[in-house]
Structure 1
């Protein structure tokens, strides 16, 4: 189960056309704002649920691909009513330029515990969440999952669409406090889950999961009205299973489609890109190109201004730790396991094994050392060329073995490589997933240089 998410942006031309018809007048903040970055809302889970947290998490990104979790990847707010937990949060920019956050009322994975309510918050710029309330959307006992919001210009109201009993239902609202009676929105004759809806010009697009074949599909409508959508794409899938389609109109006018893994034991997100959502053709993005927030599940994304980006970072703060993503295996991250340095496919538990404090080098402050977050005082060091996690004994040998110089990546200068302090021609790399130091240079094989190149991320 996941939330549909959408980036609600209107071109000035579309805004003017709507205003001319008298259907709606968009405030200047919504029609004229320049978005330079993105915000993401999500909750967290990991394979053995060590990271399970059903509060509202936020992350920011410059490119909409690589994300910085805020508040140390802790929730910025947690529901206090209903089931006192959320899933599938959507952050949506309203016509007045402010935000509403709306989410499933469900804590954990007890999917048989149906709630007719959704959690709702208001916010000017997401530095504070106010007006918290639990709003009832259904009179039945069906679940009310994965809400998505779009502006229905014909009605002059917001539509809130959600998964209920293997179909989509909709309620209309002007204030996200009182809502119309629920009605069927999309019932194609097979089970569906997780709608995400965006409006582009005169067309409303909806992407959803087809439960009969486990793939993501796109449908569209010229009105956005209930029962007016026609599927126009083939099924999309990456990995062992996928759900939670997430549509993002990028700030440069392109499109991205994200899909969440079917369960937390698989990779958390996969992505596609397209220059034309109406064409229905999507190109798979390489996992080297994107890094979702740590343990993020079923999120939503939207464009934000430079001022909003800076306000979010100032209010909630960036992580005090980093992760190292491997160039040759972009779904793998550096971790320690039983005292051994290695790379493993993410996600995994204990998830904190991949978190490092990048501190000044123990032997030379111009270099760096990697201190474990969950084993404080222990560092990655080489011993007989193999990388181990060991407690700092403050000897000169330990300090030297645990110090590296960060350089431009041997395989990609936009990434990083790490040269040994006391073996100056040796670099940190993995071989058969185990970390070690080996003599490497720009003339080494492409495969070896890839094994020694990492993205420092969060």
Structure 2
């Protein structure tokens, strides 16, 4: 299944589903209306399933002004617990925003890692970006979504970075797919580490064209598929790879409904999907 939002993000959580990872269909309607945060929107919804089968959901609640993200959970993707606002950057009063929180379940440490992009004006070397658009990636960890570790810097590649997602690609091998958000790039790159929290290598050259963001990754058994929001062309794009060093454009082989925006792919039992349908 594939989480989704539709612009401008007021109507909340949407879903797509697929049986092969290539052809996607919409499930009609919204499954959760956002009620937390300054702007009370839902952008960039990310779902990860815990070992107990519970689905945890985080999302962007505002463009600017919020120092946290939205959170809730469900066992069936239809009935959700009361929404919470998790103020992960409250100890950084100059924080301009909290964007695109992304969930990753670390099986080794039996904890959830949540990474997101924030801009703290004046904190990092300015580069070519305005101070209000000079993002870095931060993280927190939690075992129960009640207590969270203090937010720490996750990735500073020396440029403005947003929309990162962690992928376990081997026994002790992790790949980070990220967006270089500098004006001359605005494309997707990868970095590598031996631990999900890094340290990550210097990012690669871009493997997508410009004006691309919101990557999510799935494994179809033979290769990895990286979906991304090709917002410059108002559609979804995808590449396939076996090693995250060589990439093949498969946009012509996929089908994603129009209007679908920045979400994440996750697995759900067919029984749960059938109950929704």
TM-score (norm 1): 0.53
Give the deviation of 1:279 after TM superposition: 4.3
Q: Which residue among 149, 152, 157 is the counterpart of 2:103?
A: 149
Q: Is 1:57–2:14 an aligned residue pair? A: yes
Q: Which residue among 224, 241, 256 is the counterpart of 2:225?
A: 256
8 A contact 1:88–1:104 mirrored in 2: yes
- How does 1:184-199 map onto structure 2 within 5 Å? 184-199=153-168
Deviations 1:382-440 (A, max 9, x none): xxxxxxxxxxxxxxxxxxxxxxxxxxxxxxxxxxxxxxxxxxxxxxxxxxxxxxxxxxx
- How does 1:19-418 map onto structure 2 within 5 Å? 39-45=1-7, 53-71=10-28, 74-82=29-37, 83-106=39-62, 111=63, 113-139=64-90, 140=92, 141-153=95-107, 155-165=109-119, 166-200=135-169, 201-212=171-182, 213-226=185-198, 228-231=199-202, 233-238=204-209, 241-250=211-220, 252-263=221-232, 266-274=233-241, 276=242, 278-287=243-252, 289-313=253-277
Give the deviation of 1:285 after TM superposition: 0.6
Deviations 1:305-358 (A, max 9, x none): 222222221xxxxxxxxxxxxxxxxxxxxxxxxxxxxxxxxxxxxxxxxxxxxx
Give the deviation of 1:124 after TM superposition: 1.0
8 A contact 1:99–1:122 mirrored in 2: yes
Question: In structure 2, do the counterparts of structure 1 residues 58 and 279 end up closer, same or farther at CA, with 3 Å as the change threshold?
Answer: closer
Distance 2:35 2:244 in 1: 43
8 A contact 1:54–1:87 mirrored in 2: no
* 3-state DSSP of counterpart to 1:300: coil
Question: In structure 2, do the counterparts of structure 1 residues 279 and 103 end up closer, same or farther at CA, with 3 Å as the change threshold?
Answer: closer
Structure 1, unaligned runs of 5 or more: 1-38, 314-458
Structure 2, unaligned runs of 5 or more: 120-134
Give the deviation of 1:245 after TM superposition: 1.5
* 3-state DSSP of counterpart to 2:225: strand
Deviations 1:216-255 (A, max 9, x none): 11111101234x00146431223x52111211223x3421
8 A contact 1:206–1:219 mirrored in 2: yes
The CA RMSD over aligned residues, in Å, is: 2.0
Give the deviation of 1:214 after TM superposition: 1.9
Question: In structure 2, do the counterparts of structure 1 residues 293 and 53 end up closer, same or farther at CA, with 3 Å as the change threshold?
Answer: farther
TM-score (norm 2): 0.85
Give the aligned length.
255
Give the deviation of 1:210 after TM superposition: 1.1
Question: In structure 2, do the counterparts of structure 1 residues 280 and 99 end up closer, same or farther at CA, with 3 Å as the change threshold?
Answer: same
8 A contact 1:150–1:199 mirrored in 2: no
Distance 2:225 2:146 in 1: 31
* 3-state DSSP of counterpart to 1:294: coil
Distance 2:153 2:259 in 1: 33
Distance 2:44 2:99 in 1: 8
* 3-state DSSP of counterpart to 2:16: strand
Give the deviation of 1:100 after TM superposition: 0.5
